[in-house]
Amino acid sequence: MRVGVTCYPTVGGSGTVATELGLAMARRGHEVHFICYAMPYRLGRVPPGVTFHEVTVPTYPLFQYPPYSLALASQMADAVRTHGIELLHVHYAIPHAVSALLAREILGGGPRLVVTLHGTDITVVGADPSFLPIVRLGIERADAVTAVSADLARVTRQTLGVDRQIEVIPNFVDASRCDRELSAAHRRRLSPDGAPILLHASNFRPVKRVRDVIEVFRQVVERVPCHLVMLGDGPDRPAAERLVRELDLGPRVEFLGNVSPVEGVLGAGDIFLLPSQEESFGLAALEAMSCGVAVVASNAGGLPELIAHGDGGFVFPIGDTAAMAAQVVALLLDRAELGRQRERARCRAVEHFATDIVVDRYEELCRRLVGHD
């Protein structure tokens, strides 16, 4: 098959999933064309079977808002025409879905369209009245729509008022990216006293409730010595760093920003904290689980589909930092149980969310639409 993939190329779950899926499809012999405004951060050296098409947006004095969606549509149409692309797979509905529809208009028909919904494209930005009608159009007109959790599929139908099939295909992880040696080296540096390590990784947006991460840590460290490692970057990071200083937690908390490979640091931890307000899936938690890290999270959105309470992870009501902290303390005080939970987290990631299992489902969907056996 010849497939065009569009995603946000920056660090983030949807870009990671889109890129890893494209790479997996290329390894399976398909021709994959990434059509994005920059090289996806996870692409690295472009392997055989993969082509990158950069979308450039010309500037002009009249353009206070350069029309990226239109440049993307033109670039999609051009790539389809030149390379005989049979299917466009766009990740994150805004604006990719409607750009793909426009590309089909330009071509007077053409490729099949798959839209994969990732979360805030529906729950936050997509629900905004300024985008809702255009997101609904993209979803209604696509040949197939997938969502990364059943909860996101349900919320999409409810929020947009659409009544169409949305296939649930969860995110996936390649556990071989975990590197025990690298993680051991990180652990020696991050915890010179050998105390356990709590982790958080996100884009530090308000939906992540980063203050709750710090509040949980504050309650835990009062009872058990430990460290907190914060990965990623975003608008709430300065306030989080300030809060850590105000609470006098500085010596025990490190903000590392975006690190690569993230699994190196994730594998150095014991427990991953994800107390989000909204979370359609929680890819960072899955990555941590695949490296043998237990998860303590909120029960927002699709998190209970990823985390089976008591089996490698625990979920609690959003904002219940006391319950989360009590769970973390219980695990840190019972090292045998912590070890069992960490192993269960790894098993669950590998048994339910391994790359091959999930890529099979996307490949089957694409074949069905394109009509290949």
Q: Which stretch binds ligand GMT (CB under 6 A): 9-17, 211-219, 321-329, 362-370?
A: 9-17
Beta-sheet pairing, 167-168 with 87-91: unpaired
CB of 210 to ligand GMT, least distance (A): 12
3-state secondary structure 127-179: CCCCCHHHHHHHHHHCCEEEECCHHHHHHHHHHHCCCCCCEECCCCECHHHCC
> Of 263, 270, 278, 305, which one interacts with ligand GMT (CB under 6 A)?
278
Instruction: Identify whether the C-beta of residue 313 lies closer than 8 Å to the C-beta of residue 345.
Output: yes
Interaction of residue 118 with ligand GMT, rule CB under 6 A: yes
How many CB atoms are located within 10 Å of the residue 108 CB?
7
Interface segment toward ligand GMT; rule CB under 6 A; list 58-66, 74-82, 100-108, 281-289: 281-289
Cα dihedral value 103, 104, 108, 111, nearest 10: 120
Q: Pick from 25, 142, 190, 283: which binds ligand GMT (CB under 6 A)?
A: 283
Binding segment toward ligand GMT, per CB under 6 A, in 32-40, 117-125, 135-143, 334-342: 117-125
Nearer to ligand GMT, 152 or 190 (CB): 152
Cα atoms in the 13 Å half-sphere on the side-chain side of 301: 26
Interaction of residue 203 with ligand GMT, rule CB under 6 A: yes
Report which DSSP code applies to 57.
-
Map the footprint of ligand GMT across residues 296-335, applying CB under 6 A.
Answer: 301
Q: Is 200 in the site for ligand GMT (CB under 6 A)?
A: no
Assign 193 to helix, strand or coil.
coil
Q: Indicate whether 355 belongs to the interface with ligand GMT (CB under 6 A).
A: no
By rule CB under 6 A, what string of x and - marks binding of each residue 81-100 to ligand GMT? -----------x--------
Q: Tell me how many residues contact ligand GMT (CB under 6 A).
A: 21
Binds ligand GMT by CB under 6 A, chosen from 3, 4, 6, 14: 14
Q: Is 115 in the site for ligand GMT (CB under 6 A)?
A: no
119 is a site residue for ligand GMT (CB under 6 A): yes
Q: Does 22 bind ligand GMT (CB under 6 A)?
A: no
In this structure, what token pair is assigned to residue 340?
Answer: 């069992």
CA–CA dist 260, 179 (Å, integer): 12
Applying CB under 6 A, the residues found at the interface with ligand GMT are 8, 12-14, 17, 92, 118-120, 148, 171, 203, 205, 207, 278-283, 301
